[in-house]
Structures are given as C-alpha cells and as structure tokens.
Amino acid sequence: MVDISKILEQSLPVVRDTGQWIQSMVNKIAIEHIQYKGKNDLVSFVDQTAEAKLKESLSLIFPEAGFIAEETASDFSEVGDGFYWVIDPLDGTTNFLHQLPIFAVSVGLVYQKQPILGLIYEPNRDELFYAAKGHGAHLNGLPIQVSSQPTLEKSLLATGFPYHDFSYQDKYLALLKELMQKSHGLRRMGAAAIDLAYTACGRFEGFFEANLKPWDVAAGKIIIEEAGGKVTNFSGGKSVIFEGQIIGAGAIFEEFLGTLQMHWKN
C-alpha cells in the first residue's frame, strides 16, 4: 500500500529547495547559455540541472516510480498504468530567461495515467501549492478552494497563447474575442503550472489551454480537483494528462466549457 501522505511530506522540501536554487540563478544566465528545442521553445542549463536534482531526490523517496520529465522525455506514448513522476523543472523558462518573475517547479505523481499527487512551487512569492488525492489542496500549509463565483461575466480567466503550433490560431482567437467580452478579462502568465495553481486557490475563476504536455498539467490537475474544482479536456472527458488540452475551473465550469465548445470542435 502506497503511503501518499508520506510521499507528499518528503517531496515538499525537495520541490522548495529546487525552486529556491532556480531563483538564485536569475541574472546568471548569458545569451550563449540559451538553447532552442524548437520554435520559441527555450531551455538552459538551469532547467537541465534542476531536473537532475529532482529526479535524484524523488527516486530516493519513491524508487518504484518511473519518470516523465520535460528535458529528458522524448516520447511518452508507451507510458503504462504504473507510477510515474511527471516533472517540469522550470515551467515558464522564457519568463525566467527574460528575468520576468513568473515561473515555477511542477511535480506530479500519476498512477493509471491520473495524478494522485501534485506540487507547484513559485519561488518569487515563496508559494508552495500541493495536494494528494483525498487529502485536499493547500498553499503553504493552509487549505485552499476554487472560486465560488457562479458567472463567467464576473470571472477573471487565464490561458496560454500558441507559441510554436499555430494551426488552431483562428478558432483560438475567436474564442478569446468572446471571452474578452463576457468576463472580467483574460491573463496570460506564461506558465501553465501557475495558471492552474492560481485557479485552485481562486485567484482565477478558470483556465484553459491547448497543445500542452503532461508535465505542464499533471500537478495542477490534482490540485484544482482537491480544491473542489473540475478539470477535463475540451470534450469534457476525464483524460487530460496525455491529451494536450485542459480546462479547469470552479463554479463557472459548465458555462466556461460550453462557451469554449462553441468555438472549439475537436
């Protein structure tokens, strides 16, 4: 029997320490340290070193779990139903490299392709969001809940813009146009983990984004769910981690999803 509470307790300092090390590296990255994995997909030795630190420590905490990590996972199509750590060592790399203080460490633990544990640490505000299945969601030790705001009209929403795959740009822009008119506004933070964490604690009423990877959403999904929210793919299905699309919200979820689906046909 896996003791999820114990795994969470032991993982908290690992994620926090990694995030604080990342923050210590701000202003120490030169242009020659930046690499490109693809169009507008940046990486540095900070991402790579942080991932190595996380994998080393997490493998000691729960050695039975495999890894799906951003900087070393070239293919996750053969992932089975066992335990996997799903890691984004530095979500918001572009923000970090431009010295914009909006980035985070995101670590999830999945079983049967669903997250059972999640941690997101934003070092600039020293905020550690975390949740384990059946144990609620917390921020720095205090319980959090999604927003109870019932209408889209009075909601603040978050999203991420296409930055390398522009094939769905037109329908995305049409959806953004409607949401701009029907809400308090849209925010684009540049780090999906932070968008999800902020939705979990009610700062955003909802978040959606397409073309994401498992490490972008694994931790945030369980945190929102344990905070009382709902998370699905754009079709309303429960399969999210490996689908590449996510919508999560509190009380506005059904109206939010319905608005999205009027513009987004899979």
Type of residue numbered 243? E
63-75 pLDDT tens trace? 999 999 877 765 6
Look over the chain and give the mean of its residue pLDDT values, rounded to a whole number: 90
pLDDT at 210 over 50: yes
- The answer to whether 3 touches 107, Cβ cutoff 8 Å, is no
What is the pLDDT at residue 41? 46
Does 152 carry a binding-site annotation?
Answer: no
Q: Does 88 carry a binding-site annotation?
A: yes
Position 42 scores a pLDDT of 46
CATH code, domain with 76: 3.30.540.10
**Residue 211: band (very low, low, confident or very high) from pLDDT cuts 50, 70, 90:** confident
Is residue 26 pLDDT above 70, yes or no?
A: yes
Contact 131, 218 (CB under 8 A): no
The last residue of one of the domains, among 143, 169, 202, is 143
Q: Which of 68-72, 120-124, 171-175 has the highest mean pLDDT?
A: 120-124
CATH number of residue 214's parent domain: 3.40.190.80
- Give the pLDDT confidence score for residue 173 in this predicted structure: 87
Does 91 belong to an annotated binding site? yes
Task: State yes or no: pLDDT of 38 exceeds 60.
Answer: no
Q: Tell me how crowded residue 27 is: count the other CB atoms within 10 A of its CB.
A: 6
22 and 101 together in one domain: yes
Based on the fold, state whether residues 120 and 160 are members of the same structural domain. no
Calculate mean pLDDT across residues 177-182: 92
Residues 124 and 186 both lie in one domain? no
Per-residue model confidence (pLDDT) at position 77: 65
Does residue 216 share a domain with residue 137?
no
Q: How many domains does the chain have?
A: 2
Between CA 58 and CA 67 the distance in angstroms is 10
My answer on whether 91 and 199 are in the same domain is no
Q: Name the region of 66 (left: φ>0; alpha: ψ -120 to 50; beta: rest).
A: beta
Same domain, 14 and 105: yes
Look up the domain containing 213 and give its range.
152-263
